[in-house]
Structure 1
Amino acid sequence: MPNPHAALPFSATVYPDARPAAHLTWDSREAGPDVAFVALPGETMHGNRFVEAALAAGAPFVLTDLDVPRAVRVFDAWAALRTWAHAERARNRLVVGITGSAGKTTAKAYAAAALDAHFMPVFNTQPAIACFLVEFGASAQPLVVEMGIDRPGEMDELVALVRPDVGIVTSIGPAHLEQLGSIENIVREKGVILKGVRGLVGAQAAPFYPGVDSYGFGNVTHAGQNLQVTPQGAAFLFDGTEVRLPLAARVQAEAAVLGLTLAREAGLPQDEAAARLSQVSVPGGRYRMHPGRFTVIDDAYNASPVAVTAALDALTGMPGRRISVLGRMLELGDTEREWHAQVGQAARARADLTYGVGAFAAELGERAYSTVPELTNALLAEVRDGDVVLVKASRGISWTPQQRAQAGVGLDVVVDALLQWRDGGAGN
């Protein structure tokens, strides 16, 4: 519990009416009676503009340089927050950092379950991580932190903030190429997390990091055995322990192997870790399977070439007619057409029917559509009982719904339409 009246690791003037908080946030919209606010500088404006709103919402205290009620007044709020995060993190015995071009959030969820750990929410920015460390750093439970990057040097900053005891790279592929420039740069930048700590890499990333222990299935250091995947879920063995993951596929199974490896090294009982893994619920849009008359695989949260290829690989193991529905992948720089063409080739080799939408629709699928509504109408007319439909694309977070529909991103609306039609319509 962040307590402004405890011994703080930085110089501050703590106003008498400041009180302890249950949580800490950098987003004033989340401030409330139990959530304190940190006023940080942003790209376009300073958090000080929202201090009054946070106080009006009942924030227990505000970390700021302003003279306001309930202030923890400091010269530099971001420097103070980092110092506070370092001090709290130093009190924890095990911190796991996870990065990768794809699969970070899934790996985080399964690693945290196996370790019975606190873990980062969806946001993985430096302010969000610092707030998380302040809240949970002193916990007796381990911490699992997702560490995403999109520019050179950012992983150095994150490692300095988090100081992980274990560093993990889930996968390597073209992502954020506009800033990172090349696969070689991505390998180097993400590899910073492996330096000087216990390192683990996923099977797909293993060739990029020779000599580092790997996890997953097949020819890896820490391997699961006898993997079986159906629309109802995945099952495998790990060190003789049977693991069952409802509504999961190979992607989640590999993350579960990571979790069991970490749990074993932490000295935790494997059967108890496996039981916790069976209860994991991955956030929507991250290869979540919806079985029924036909199966919908919702992987529409985001996309990169390595993530789409992994999803297509998992699709090949599904029974029934396999359909891929792919939209545009963002931040691929000048080579984006080539990457979309490569992904489209992979789709044609793995799926029975391939759909594409948006700027690179023809590269992504044999059945190409300019907009999401056109795609949705055609797909609903085609899909039938027994099919397995994979839906994946980037989101375009800052785009309007109209922009998404035109560009072929944000295909969660396609998932919703499929599920509504399937569960409310007549069988074909």
Structure 2
Amino acid sequence: MMQRKKILEKILHFMAKNVLAKYHPFVIGVTGSVGKSSTKEAIELVVSKIFSVRKAEGNYNNEIGIALTILGEKSGGTSLLAWLLIVLRWCFLMLFRRQYPEALVLEMGIDRPKDMDYFLSFIPVDIGVVTQISSSHLEFFGTLGNIAKEKGKMIQSLPESGFAILNFDDKYVIRMQEKTKAKVLTYGFGEGAMFHIDNLLFQRDVKRIEGLSFKLNYAGKTIPMRLPRVVAKHHIGAVLGATAVGTALKMNLVEIAEALENFEPLPGRMRLLSGKNMMTLLDDTYNASPSSTLSALETVKDLMAPRKVFIFGDMLELGAESRELHTALGEYIIASGIQIVVLVGVYAHFLYEELLTLGFPGRQLHWFPDVSMTEERIDEIVREEDLILIKGSRGMRMEKITERLLGDKENTSDVLCCQSPSWKERPFREPEEWQAFKNDEK
């Protein structure tokens, strides 16, 4: 099976490389530990104002997914015929001059060492955007510095005519400006960033949160921006990154702001949803890392609600630091003003114990070993008008909790992550690292 996948990767690599060489699209690459997909979506909104654009769909951010994006194809899955048709369409693309996007927005997911080398071996990036460096996939890199080094290769590869768009607030990311020939634009919340904001306000009516507004500052200019579908401050980073890309392409700020007013978080990325019984759901179930969890808690801290609930599943793939990184969340949960905490998973039990140690009321704290048991009990725990943050690594299947709490008017296939039939039908399986961890604890 692995051998066939490698052969497929090589074939797609060859096909994608030749398409890029023939059509020469403008390439915008996005990488980082968190925020890649949201930034990609925001960039596409902006760049589509001046170019015909193709972006990576869904989670097409790996070796096969990026090649398919370049080819404009969907996966052939297990069908040999489907893959043969992809090859046939590629032949037509190469033999005849056909319509091809002027710009590509590619999300480069880096899970292991040398992943970026693979992408750069056939993708010439013109604008590189780096969002943030965090502990995701730490078990494969060992240190945050190693993660930054791998992702930073994209910035090093940029030509002098290119642009490096860097998160000013991340010390690992901003250091990348020292190793590029390209022009550098920075964004962030710190005033030293070229693109930064002030006057951040949450918009709401009596019953419902209605997004964010703020003033954008760049090069002595200030313009108002409104994001009616956004409540998480870290999504502002995606918007600022996209604004920097638009500016690099000589778009004016008003045009960029108008495009970004339509920005909406992807399913499972701090998506604001209506729950049953007038509950407000913040669905952040696509994945979880320490930094993205802290960002989500910071958002909840800033929001007003009769009662705040946090439903949290394990963060996976954190290696030897898993226990420490989970327990470290305790003080942030307390500081966020959350009144009810529901924890799910092996590592989450350490957080459960830490919260008790910190004085969090035991009657307001719940722990379950897996998502199935949580589903059975969650209706007893939540109540009318709660603000509920739901988060966890993808392998924890926390989207099942969001689905249970959704209001009738929400269509799950449109608003939730991980809704493919094959994924939904797959039963929950204990992550392999749980067993390894249990063995180490004995």
TM-score of the pair, normalised by structure 1: 0.73
Q: Which residue of 2 aligns with 1:306?
A: 291
Aligned residues: 343
Cα 1:168/1:206, change in 2 over 3 Å: farther
Cα 1:222/1:343, change in 2 over 3 Å: same
Q: Structure 2: how far apart are the matches of 1:204 and 1:344? A: 24
Asked if structure 2 preserves the Cα contact closer than 8 Å seen for 1:130 and 1:161, the reply is no
Q: Which residue of 1 aligns with 2:174?
A: 209
Q: Which residue of 1 aligns with 2:392?
A: 393
Q: Which residue of 2 aligns with 1:358?
A: 345
Asked if structure 2 preserves the Cα contact closer than 8 Å seen for 1:323 and 1:353, the reply is yes
Q: Structure 1: how far apart are the matches of 2:409 and 2:13? A: 52
**Bigger proportion of residues as helix:** 2
Q: Structure 2: how far apart are the matches of 1:195 and 1:243? A: 32
Shift of 1:200: 2.0
Is 1:150–2:116 an aligned residue pair? no
Q: Structure 1: how far apart are the matches of 2:402 and 2:284? A: 9
Cα 1:141/1:240, change in 2 over 3 Å: farther
Shift of 1:333: 1.2
Q: Which residue of 2 aligns with 1:200?
A: 165
Q: Structure 2: how far apart are the matches of 1:267 and 1:415? A: 41
Query: Which residue among 260, 268, 271 is the counterpart of 1:288?
Result: 271
User: Which structure has the higher relative contact order (CA within 8 Å, separation 6+)?
Assistant: 2
Shift of 1:196: 4.4
Asked if structure 2 preserves the Cα contact closer than 8 Å seen for 1:88 and 1:133, the reply is no
Map residues 316-355 of structure 1 onto 2, 5 A cutoff.
Answer: 316-320=301-305, 321-350=307-336, 351-355=338-342
Q: Which residue of 1 aligns with 2:196?
A: 223
Cα 1:251/1:138, change in 2 over 3 Å: farther
Map residues 60-139 of structure 1 onto 2, 5 A cutoff.
Answer: 77-78=11-12, 80-88=14-22, 91-92=24-25, 94-116=26-48, 117-122=53-58, 123-135=60-72, 139=100
Q: Which residue of 2 aligns with 1:372?
A: 371
Asked if structure 1 preserves the Cα contact closer than 8 Å seen for 2:130 and 2:173, the reply is no
Asked if structure 1 preserves the Cα contact closer than 8 Å seen for 2:313 and 2:344, the reply is yes
Q: Could you tell me which amino acid in structure 1 is paired with residue 406 of structure 2?
A: L
TM-score of the pair, normalised by structure 2: 0.71
Query: Which residue among 136, 139, 154 is the counterpart of 1:175?
Result: 136
Shift of 1:178: 2.3
Asked if structure 2 preserves the Cα contact closer than 8 Å seen for 1:102 and 1:171, the reply is yes
Q: Deviations over 1:50-83 (max 9, x none)?
A: xxxxxxxxxxxxx99xxxxxxxxxxx73453143
Query: Which residue among 253, 274, 280 is the counterpart of 1:270?
Result: 253
Q: Which residue of 1 aligns with 2:356?
A: none
Which has the higher mean CA deviation after the structures are superposed, 294-303 or 274-283?
274-283
SS at match of 1:209: helix
Q: Structure 1: which 4+ aligned runs deviate by more than 6 Å?
A: none
Cα 1:384/1:303, change in 2 over 3 Å: same
Asked if structure 1 preserves the Cα contact closer than 8 Å seen for 2:116 and 2:154, the reply is yes
Q: Structure 2: how far apart are the matches of 1:223 and 1:315? A: 22
**Structure 2 unpaired stretches of 5+:** 74-97, 178-184, 204-208, 353-364, 411-442
Q: Structure 2: how far apart are the matches of 1:135 and 1:418? A: 36
SS at match of 1:45: helix
Q: Structure 1: how far apart are the matches of 2:409 and 2:348? A: 25
Q: Could you tell me which amino acid in structure 2 is paired with residue 362 of structure 1?
A: H
Asked if structure 2 preserves the Cα contact closer than 8 Å seen for 1:101 and 1:306, the reply is no
Q: Could you tell me which amino acid in structure 2 is paired with residue 176 of structure 1?
A: H
Shift of 1:412: 0.4
Query: Which residue among 245, 254, 262 is the counterpart of 2:237?
Result: 254
**Structure 1 unpaired stretches of 5+:** 1-41, 49-62, 65-75, 397-408, 424-428
Q: Could you tell me which amino acid in structure 2 is paired with residue 296 of structure 1?
A: L
Percent identity of paired positions between Structure 1 and Structure 2 = 27
SS at match of 2:151: helix
Q: Structure 1: how far apart are the matches of 2:168 and 2:247? A: 19
Cα 1:156/1:46, change in 2 over 3 Å: closer
Q: Structure 2: how far apart are the matches of 1:341 and 1:246? A: 34
Q: Which residue of 1 aligns with 2:122?
A: 161
Q: Could you tell me which amino acid in structure 2 is paired with residue 271 of structure 1?
A: V
Q: Which residue of 2 aligns with 1:11?
A: none
Q: Structure 2: how far apart are the matches of 1:382 and 1:127? A: 42
Q: Deviations over 1:275-331 (max 9, x none)?
A: 222223333111101146221000101111111111111221111132211101111
